[in-house]
Amino acid sequence: MNKKGQALVEYVLIIALISVVIIGLVNIFGGYLKDAMTKSSCNLVGQEYVEGKKPGEGSCKSESN
């Protein structure tokens, strides 16, 4: 029997499953992660963070406006 081939297939299936889970999590929480990065960058450049209608749509706005 070829157990090496069987083990390789199992590893590929595990990696594929983990990849699908990670892609799903990024799709669900990606907007929140983008907003967190935008908030940080707004603070660095001295601008005010403005929330968007949906997660991931936030932006920076100049504080003088």
2-31 pLDDT, tens digit per residue, is: 666 778 889 999 999 999 999 999 999 999
Strand partners, 48: 61
As a whole number, mean pLDDT of residues 33-61 equals 91
User: Whole-model pTM above 0.85?
Assistant: no
Statement: residue 64 has pLDDT above 90: no
Q: What is the mean pLDDT of residues 30-57?
A: 91
Question: HSE (CB half, 13 Å, CA atoms) of 26?
Answer: 6
d(CA 6, CA 59) in angstroms, rounded, equals 50
